[in-house]
Amino acid sequence: SKMDGRGTWRFFEPAMDASLQSRRALETDLRAAMDKNEFDLFYQPIYDLRMDRISGFEALLRWRHPERGLVPPDQFIPVAEEIGLITPLGEWVLNRACAQAASWPNELKIAVNVSATQFRDPRLAAVIANALEVSALPPHRLELEITESVLLGNSAETIATLHELKARGLRIALDDFGTGYSSLSYLRSFPFDKLKIDQSFVRDVTAKKGSKLIVRAITRLGKSLGMTTTAEGVETIEQLNQMKAEGCNEAQGYLFSRPVPATELASTILSLRNG
Ligand code: C2E
Ligand code: CA
Ligand code: CA
Ligand code: CA
Q: What is the pLDDT of residues 167-186, one digit of tens each?
A: 999 999 999 998 876 668 77
Best probe residue, ligand 1, of 44, 64, 93, 113 (max atoms within 8 Å of C-beta): 113
Tell me, what's the pLDDT at 151? Answer: 84
ipTM above 0.95, yes or no: yes
Q: For the segment 185-211, what is each residue's pLDDT rounded down to a tens digit?
A: 778 888 899 999 999 999 999 988 899
DSSP 17-51: HHHHHHHHHHHHHHHHHTTTT-EEEEEEEEEETTT
Whether ligand 1 lies within 6 angstroms of the CB of 74 is answered as: yes
Q: Assess whether pLDDT exceeds 60 at residue 24.
A: yes
Q: What percent of the chain has pLDDT over 90?
A: 75
The torsion of the CA quartet 134, 57, 187, 88, rounded to 10 degrees, works out to: -40
**Rounded average pLDDT over 231-256:** 97
What is the per-residue pLDDT for 1? 43
State pTM to two decimals: 0.93
* Backbone phi and psi for residue 174, each to the nearest 5 degrees, phi listed first: -95, 115
- Each residue of 40-88: pLDDT tens digit? 999 999 999 999 999 999 999 999 999 999 999 999 999 999 999 999 9
pLDDT band at 243 (very low <50, low <70, confident <90, very high): very high
Distances in Å between the Cα of 125 and the Cα atoms of 78, 138, 194 are 22, 15, 20
**Contact status, residue 175 vs residue 151, Cβ threshold 8 Å:** no
Q: How confident is the model at residue 3 (pLDDT cuts 50, 70, 90)?
A: low
> Is residue 8 predicted with pLDDT exceeding 70?
no
For residue 47, list its beta bridge partners: 54, 251
| Residue predicted with more confidence, 20 or 90 | 90
**Would the CB of 12 count as within 6 Å of ligand 1?**
no
Ligand lying nearest the CA atom of residue 76: 1
Backbone angles phi, psi at 189, to 5 degrees: -90, -15
Q: Which of 217, 213, 206 is nearest to 240 (CA)?
A: 206
